[in-house]
Amino acid sequence: MRTAVAVVLASVAGGCCFSPFGGGCGGACPTTRRYTVSMKQETSRPSLEDVIWGAVLDWFKNSEMAAKRHQEHVNGDGVTHMMKGTPFVNAPDALKLRFVNDGAGRLVSEFMRREQRELGQWKVEKIMEAAGPEFDRRAAMKELKEIARSAPVVVLSFVDCPWCLAAKTLLLDELELPPDSVRVVELEVADQRALTITLTLTTNPPSPSPSP
């Protein structure tokens, strides 16, 4: 039986997995029936929306906020995500699930999607800087593969991430998968810094070079 891996880390700062802005998911969110944002088809010419998002991403990349959060990752020992330190962390699950699908949640999801696509190389550089010289990518990748093979479905999650909660709710409550077929690895609880960095590097390939 093949293993299906659901990688759920919301990535606004490391893509809720590990990114300069907090965790980041720099991750890939699975397609769900209720909790996902549909992707718009790309156009050859930039639209006004693309121009605005480009300006937002450029501001974010050079902001003091991103620099401060990145420095926290460089100096810290654990893993985190963008929601940490906000009242939203302690919000009821129902409110978090509603947030995923409302206007604010869709806006955050779109930011994460564009950040991953357009700032991929920058994120990889920041992630490697935060990882430090002691980071063993080969060993961490080996551990990630072993975890992926450990159950039919593996969810790499942040405890209070709304998108992680949505994925777990979909799998266990809506699809009613047998609990013993789903392994949930809470990255903060396990303090899986190396694993989280590897996951983010895996799901954040460098941005393609612009055409001449």
Q: Which residues pair with 154 in a beta bridge?
A: 5, 183
Does residue 211 form part of some domain? no
Between residues 95 and 208, the one the model is more confident about: 95
pLDDT tens for 70-116 read: 887 777 766 666 667 677 778 899 999 999 889 988 998 899 889 88
Does residue 210 form part of some domain? no
How is residue 173 annotated by DSSP?
I
Does residue 194 form part of some domain? yes
Q: How many domains does the chain have?
A: 1
pLDDT tens for 27-63 read: 333 333 343 344 455 556 889 999 999 999 999 999 9
Q: So what's the pLDDT on residue 173?
A: 93
Which strands form 153-157's sheet, in the order they lie side by side? 4-7, 153-157, 182-186
Does residue 183 form part of some domain? yes
Does residue 8 form part of some domain? yes
Token pair 């950040």: residue: 115
pLDDT band at 174 (very low <50, low <70, confident <90, very high): very high
Does residue 40 form part of some domain? no
Domain range for residue 154?
A: 4-35+47-203
Gyration radius of the chain over CA positions: 17
CB 161 within 8 A of CB 9: yes
With a pLDDT cut of 70, the percent of the chain lying above it is: 69
Burial class (CB in 10 A: 0-12, 13-18, 19+), 26: buried
Q: So what's the pLDDT on residue 152?
A: 93
What dihedral angle (degrees, nearest 10) is formed by the CA atoms of 90, 93, 98, 104?
A: 30
Does residue 209 form part of some domain? no
Average pLDDT over residues 165-191: 88
Alpha helices in 102-192 (DSSP H): 103-118, 120-131, 137-148, 162-169, 187-190
Does residue 74 form part of some domain? yes
